Structure 1
Amino acid sequence: MNQSEPENVGSTVSSVSESSVSEPAGPAADTATRRSLGISDFDTLAALESEAIHIFREVAGEFERPVILFSGGKDSTVLLHLALKAFWPAPLPFALLHVDTGHNLPEVLAFRDKVVERYDLRLHVASVEDYLADGRLTERPDGIRNPLQTVPLLDGISEHRFDAVFGGGRRDEERSRAKERIFSLRNAFGQWDPKRQRPELWNLYNGRHAPGEHVRVFPLSNWTELDIWRYIAREDIDLASIYYAHERPVYQRDGMWMTPGVWGGPAEDEQLETRSVRYRTVGDGSTTGAILSEAGDNTAILAEVAASRLTERGATRGDDRVSEAAMEDRKREGYF
């Protein structure tokens, strides 16, 4: 649907209101469930939600063509949930953008398409496969495609003239993300310069940018992984099935449980076995691992995350293990 068409707004509002995503009234879980999850009516989730909604509305009022990066992962799903809440009962005033590596888990792509259809959203897909096919990019020797997302992302931003790009990055995930502001200025080449960071005192955000520049916006900056899961439980947010324990064929590599796919499978010295696993984060299938888990619902996952001493990226993302500055190097080049 083209959300600028007023005749479709009514149907959009009605479809959104069928989900807890769109209901600005209160949490979906009843009092007993909330208490069992350790969630009070006056906790940090209310403040975090309010901050994120404020950021979405600030961007809507300050920029001409914002877009939300949406991969179908838990953080981008929470991001979309908050955006829908921020503008309900009006339709979402932003399009979505997904940089598809071609190595995504099929469950995640199916979930992405289901969400887009459910809320009648506009989705732009920048395909790494297309860039490999016509020679604009070359496959890496290690087969990892996450670093190859940068060029399609920047081209997509330029092609559609997006001046603000929402991302689901959180400061607790990784060192370079910890020092990036909520409004992060990118130059005309999409590059991030840590020395050009702007102060953000008293929730005042500076979105000023020159022609050709754009701003990355991170409404979830101050959230933790545990906050995300508490909010998912509170709002009863639907997620891709891979976030919950399920049985699948996996093999162990570099301390992670990998699954075979179009990106390849186990090497000769790696044994394929069926285990109960779940994913803490989603990314390129060739470098994103699962964890052994029996956590099949939000309550069990909350207990599991609370006990973890490793971030989800540190535990299951091989591309972040290349060096201590791997993520920062990619961000300087224009990565998420």
Structure 2
Amino acid sequence: MTDNTFNVSQLNKALLARRIPHDKFKKAFERGKELIELSDLGMPGSGIMVFGPSGVGKTKLTFTLEEYAIKHYGKDSVVRTQLDTGATVKGAISSLLFAFGDPRSNYGTIPELSTRLKNTIKKRKCRLIIIDEVQHLIPGGKPSKTLIDNILNAFKILDDTGVSFLLAGMEDIMQLWIADEQIRSRFQTTYFFDVLTYPQDRRAWRGIVRSFIETIEQHGLTVECPEIEDRCFAASKGAIRPLVLILTTAVSLAYKSNTTIITVEHLLKAAQKQIDKNDGKHNAFDVDREIIDRFNKEAHSSRRLAPIARPLSSILTA
């Protein structure tokens, strides 16, 4: 039993709940709000795709929009589901029905389930459907014609109900966008979320880390680590989720050590526990500054460029 005066559970929950939107996050959130409000303007439903690597804020965006819709328009205004490995279009529809509380969400053919979902959307006056981890619909990253046909049939719900869609996932989901003109017409706006780069985004990254440290300090702790922003960048490769994992683990280690000071040792142990060697520099808190600077500059030199989402007009006139 420790004598700490801070509530470790409350602090870690505050860190996990902290939303520090970057530029693309802000733009996607504003567009998501517009989708939610379309029915008030007598406009038809629309859709956006949000894609990018793991840990950059895509899922956080979906939760933020869900909370916004519930707060301003009620719990039935939005439904959110997250797909798992091996997901199918039928399974996705079933999961949406389950989210609505349908006791027979797993029973029926795709047309039968789609009809029930359409009727539920109309009855509940749902404004926005959010589907996260959509890449699980695309085994191998190459959508088949059958898959595209099934998705298009499911998206006819948009035409029949006026509901809008937000699809989020890894870069593979853009293969759906590229593969079919009708899908592009329903999802004309796409947002690529990426990790921050060094040194171009160093100032933004420092602001993010300082915001998390402010939350820690508000709960009665101090952080003692030189160059913590740059070391956190090396450990996480500029991704938010691993950063939060490092900080929450370090908080827990300080609590177990009966101290309100988060030390370099706590951060080192946290990074070694949470970061795989292939995903970041797990010993970033135990090497010289020169090594950190060199690693940060080289960390993203081999990254692939984001898939280019051309404007719909250029595709149709090509």
Q: Which has the higher strand share?
A: 1
Report the structure number with the largest CA radius of gyration. Answer: 2
Q: Normalised by the size of structure 1, how large is the TM-score?
A: 0.33
Higher relative contact order (CA 8 A, sep 6+): 2
Q: Normalised by the size of structure 2, how large is the TM-score?
A: 0.34
